[in-house]
Amino acid sequence: MRCSKPLGRDSQAGFMLIEVMVAATLLAVGVTAAMQAIYRSLDASQESQMYTRALFLAQRAMSEVENEVNFNDRYDVLGGWRDFDESPNYEWRALISENDDFWVRRVIVTVRWAKNVNDLHNEDKNYYYRLVTEVPMPRYPADYEK
């Protein structure tokens, strides 16, 4: 009795070269897409951390300004850019402007930072966060006559 070969199968079993190449290409495209997604996720996470740090530093700088400044005096800019001691990539400055119509002073604290310390003074590579608040000006009896 003779065995016959199964129907629908060639005598040569295995994959053709073109099938292997297509599978390798699909695998490479899939791995590349996954790696790009991971990289973007890490980059977004790092940027989120930088913005969160800038927010906390801006709040701290705003507290410093409120404690340092006598709002009865006139101020425009409190010096130039100031460093944060524990965060060398970050700097801040404060601008105080007066609005007589509403009897308030607007305090603007701007924090700037760069991913690299050497890029901090390169405007093209900086990030900025601005925190604005308004502080009521003290009013005196003579002021009510205006």
Confidence of residue 24 (pLDDT cuts 50, 70, 90): very high
> Judging by DSSP bridges, how do beta strands 82-84 and 87-99 pair with one another?
antiparallel
Nearest to 95 by CA among 56, 52, 138, 61: 61
Domains of the chain (ranges; CATH) run 17-145 (3.30.1300.30)
91 phi, psi to nearest 5 deg: -135, 160
pTM of this structure: 0.66
Q: Which residue has the higher pLDDT, 103 or 126?
A: 126
* Residue-wise pLDDT tens digits, 60-111: 988 888 887 766 665 555 667 888 888 888 999 988 887 766 778 888 899 9
CA separation for the pair 83, 68 (Å, rounded): 16
CA separation for the pair 111, 81 (Å, rounded): 9
